[in-house]
Structure 1
Amino acid sequence: MLSRVADSIYWLTRYVERAENVARFVEVNLNLLLDSSSATTQWEPIVLTTGDLPLFRDRYGEATAENVIRFLTFDADYPNSILSCLRIARENARSVRDVISSEMWQQVNSFYLMVMDVAQSGHLSDLTTILKFFEEVKLHSHLFAGVMDATMTHNEGWHFGQIGRLIERADKTARILDVKYYILLPSPKDVGSTLDELQWMALLKSASAYEMYRKQGAHRISPMAVAEFLILDREFPRSVRSCIMRAERSLHHITGTPVGNWRIPVERSLGRLRSDLDYITIEEIIQQGLHEFLDDLQSRMNEVGDKIFTTFFSLETVA
């Protein structure tokens, strides 16, 4: 019983978070369009960082703004589109309606219906309307997280939900940073230019990090400082390190093992990742290569996700 409930809540929160972060992916380019009408936007890197570029090319061909936005937002046959994520989240919520609060069900259901209404109406005709829609997506996701925290008992099920949300968020923050790497690939001459700074600002805004980055005293947009903030900051809730720290605390709450002790494989994988983020410096990351570091980070977070499944949700008997 616990395995079924925990599995459903884990994927419920993970897919709601994924829907929000897909909106953030697209906002990287949309914010750049707003900040500089002369900036050349590239849409293929957005799909490339999702890992689904071959599928996109088979279905849509050219990576135009319209094609990429439709693929990532409303494509019902693409499992990671916003619409598909919310359909999966809604079905997981439906399967555990007797465990989650009625407010949680109402929020995820209204979230899904909102996106479905927009998908059927096709009312995304201009940049302002598209941005407003993505703001609604983020707001609905935040409302769901707030309702869950305020109305669900903070028991094992809640902690599984936290882990799902935080692992997904850390992964997508890393991928949003990777978008910047791929956008610069065709034009390394732009590094350090005004366009380069505008792109970093657009990235910060898409991660809801621009104001907090500024308020920590960073008055200049420095690529190294932005990467350090989004990867290593302990207190910003969307940074990779902050997400991993909180996910580890929830994991140890579930297993009963004190933080710092690693009794089972998933604790060791998550603990090593958190420990590495505690001690690595941004200079070491840049020396290694930002893209290479982020690629390895995503692989390690995927490994954590796989071990969560085999440890808690797999129906196979562990010898």
Structure 2
Amino acid sequence: MRPIIIGIFAAFFFAFTFILNRSMELAGGSWIWSASLRYYFMVPLLFIIVIARKNLKLLFVEMKQRPVVWLLWSSIGFGLFYAPICFSAAYAPGWLIAATWQITIISGSLLAPFFYETAVTDNGLMRIKGKIPFKGLGMSLIILLGIILMQVEQANHLSVIALTLGVLPVVVASFAYPLGNRKMMEVCGGRLDVFQRVLGMTLASMPFWIILSIFGLVDVGPPSLGQTLQSALVAISSGVIATILFFYATDLVRGDMQKLAAVEATQSMEVLFAVIGELLLLNSLMPSALSWSGMALVMVGMVLHSYVSNKIVKPKIQKVSA
């Protein structure tokens, strides 16, 4: 249960992303700066942590060996994850984005066949191709049903444009985040700790953010002071604290796609935290009884998902020589 608990804490800090991004959008800030400023602020914060742990040199050695791979998967895992999330905030409220983001529960499970996991055999350990965890996926569908119930009333009042531009980019992000994270875990192979990996991915994604910032300067001009300060808060809460907690939780179950899917499912708690945050900070309307029922389903689905994923017993696989 330790990775599950850590994942829930990560969800709490991740929820600030949806709340503050919506706050910045309501204040007239551009999604471009909401996205790029977060990662600019993350760099010095992570540098301090990694230098204090005396692990910076090893990180640079790893990045120098495979720079193109770092650039590719970091741009996908961070760039194609967070830019669409911020873009959606311009067209849909934070609760809808937070709810739609939970499709990553399904996305993470569907990506399993593209990765390898470690299996115990009579001849030792071997890597086998991952399979879609259908039992855990069933529990994920319960979570998704709860999310749908939470938002069904509000979604009926949104325009087609708001639904399209507010939802589809988040779906793209829901695949990009676990894909980039898992690929970088494979690349690092346990040689780097979570702090080094987050810093490395942040540095490797800088070309993406620099290009986006240049476009932002030309299109909308520089960010305001208020947006800059709120972006710094997002960088600390979501970019550093939440990301490190989540990556640490996924590292604990690296090589087991069943339990990895369970950890990724903890991010459904972001919806609950986002609702509470919007009620307290943005004076949002109190959710209906139907929405509260959906929240209960999310929590039940979380418990069942964790239980099923940890009760699955894998059969022994005989290692066949070529």
Same fold (TM over 0.5): no
TM-score when scaled to structure 2? 0.24
TM-score when scaled to structure 1? 0.24
Greater relative contact order structure (CA < 8 Å, 6+ sep): 2
